[in-house]
Amino acid sequence: MHVACCFFEGVCMKIGIILASSQKDKMDVIAECVKKITQPMGHETVCFGIPENMAQTFSYVETAVCISLLLSGKAVDFVVTGCSSGQGMMLAANSLPGVLCGYIPMPQDAFLFGRINGGNAASLPLKDGWGWQGREHLLHTLEKLFDGPFGEGYPAHEADRKKRDTMLMKQINHTVKRGWAEIADEMDAELLEKALSFPGVYDYILQNSSDEALKNLLRANR
């Protein structure tokens, strides 16, 4: 199971950006900010946007399923996401296989999550504070998130202990969560089918995942 991203200096990541329907109007500014911060580092961004005229809507729970499938299949290495509070998406994503999602309302939270916890997804609160000031806050938050290798430990004099604790946390996460091959038959069929209709997600996983078993599972549930 793909549990967490390991971003080291000089290693490029594929970063997915995905939001539920309630926040789809924020996609352009979030994508712009993620690209501005990460493209100079050599990272690639992939946006899973919902068309403005699309009548079908996707909840944060359905979107979290997409996040889990993208990460479990190693179609992307990291996901930037969010919802009104940021916490619902974080909790939903963390309940699913292959995800270790942090809640990053402030630049300090983003920095500590990146350096200490080294997860593979980050959830932003997106309800309030938008406009030019919201964009500047988002840029600063993302700058701190990607300000150095993930999971390197912080502060420096406690780095070894922090890294040991992070590794233990990831091992527990891997142990207690079952993979998609085990849970697919127990999942709500309509939920999985709906998630697989999220624009671009299904096709992207089939084209970019190296996990043939997962891809066959998705074909069977489409």
pLDDT at residue number 130: 65
Tracing tokens 């994508």 back to the chain, one arrives at 31
pLDDT at residue number 1: 40
pLDDT at residue number 4: 44
CATH number of the 14-212 domain: 3.40.1400.10
Q: What is the mean pLDDT of each run of 10 residues along the chain (222 residues)?
A: 47 93 93 96 95 92 98 97 95 96 96 94 85 84 94 82 84 88 94 96 98 96 88
User: pTM of the full predicted structure?
Assistant: 0.91
Spatial neighbors of 217 by CB under 8 A, at least 6 apart, are: 180, 181, 184
